[in-house]
Amino acid sequence: MAVAPWIVSDEMWDLLEPLLPKKERRFRYPGRKRLDDRAALQGILFVLHTGIAWRHLPAELGFGSGSTCYRRLDDWQRAGVW
């Protein structure tokens, strides 16, 4: 069975995770829990592979919202990851 191209394998994640900047939660008033980086990356890859608009990213897939994935991509680009 073929794996969807937006699914990040454990081996690939082991290579990518150290490259991503860590964002620590505030101790006081931490706010909403941040979406897992791996889920955000898979959401980004889904949008890039399918060509859908960010706002049409299906929440049912577990990648978070399109705006969250777009914001994470922008954060990583600004940090020099890509």
Q: What is the DSSP string of 8-46?
A: PPHHHHHHHGGGSPP-PPPSSS--SPPPPHHHHHHHHHH
pLDDT of residue 24: 74
Instruction: State mean pLDDT over 29-44.
Output: 87
Share of the chain above pLDDT 70, in %: 91
The type of residue at 14 is: D
Domain ranges of the chain: 35-62
User: Which whole number is the average pLDDT over 4-26?
Assistant: 87
